[in-house]
């Protein structure tokens, strides 16, 4: 049990760092683009900006799934990267289909990855929610300025 935690912990730490990196990249780009927009951005500006946030955070989560998949390959759990990535994606997203599973020895890595994934998706959801709320705030303040 302890060995699973010790093997999974570096990947979790790396995922946290990557999530913070993607979050910082996304937040900085969002603020930069928001400042370049005129006082009352068009709906297409909003769509572009919100889409950028979603895509960047999704890519960040996908990279983390790939890291877990690489770990599973290094441990000899899967024959190919595609199967490892499939298992990792299902586990990271907490779907847990059960059609592909880890060996008895490494089975406890699954809940570690699932806990990591749910946390990272939560952080991604938080940044997306913040961007949506900022967009609403921008339009609300624009309406008050007109009125």
Q: How far apart are CA 128 and CA 82, in angstroms?
A: 29
Are 64 and 120 a contacting pair, CB within 8 Å?
Answer: yes
Determine the pLDDT at residue 52: 95
Q: How far apart are CA 129 and CA 147, in angstroms?
A: 27
Domain locations in the chain as residue ranges? 2-33+43-141
CA 50 to chain centroid = 15
User: Tens-of-pLDDT digits for all 147 residues of the chain?
Assistant: 899 999 999 999 999 999 999 999 999 999 999 888 866 778 899 999 999 999 999 999 999 999 999 999 999 999 999 999 999 999 999 999 999 999 999 999 999 999 999 999 999 999 999 999 999 988 887 654 555
Determine the pLDDT at residue 35: 87
Rounded to 10 degrees, the C-alpha dihedral 20/25/26/29 comes to: 160
* CATH code for the structural domain at 2-33+43-141: 1.10.287
Look up the pTM and report it. 0.90
Determine the pLDDT at residue 142: 67
């Amino acid at each position: 049990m302890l060995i699973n935690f010790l093997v999974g912990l570096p990947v979790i730490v790396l995922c946290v760092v990557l999530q913070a990196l993607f979050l910082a990249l996304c937040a900085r780009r969002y603020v930069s683009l928001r400042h370049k927009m005129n006082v009352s951005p068009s709906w297409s500006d909003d769509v572009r900006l919100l889409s950028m946030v979603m895509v960047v955070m999704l890519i960040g989560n996908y990279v983390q799934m790939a890291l877990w998949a690489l770990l599973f390959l290094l441990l000899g759990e899967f024959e190919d990267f595609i199967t490892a990535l499939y298992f990792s994606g299902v586990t990271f997203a907490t779907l847990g289909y059960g059609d592909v599973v880890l060996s008895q020895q490494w089975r406890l890595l699954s809940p570690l990855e699932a806990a990591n994934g749910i946390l990272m998706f939560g952080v991604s959801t938080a940044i997306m929610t913040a961007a949506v709320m900022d967009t609403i705030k921008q339009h609300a303040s624009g309406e008050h300025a007109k009125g």
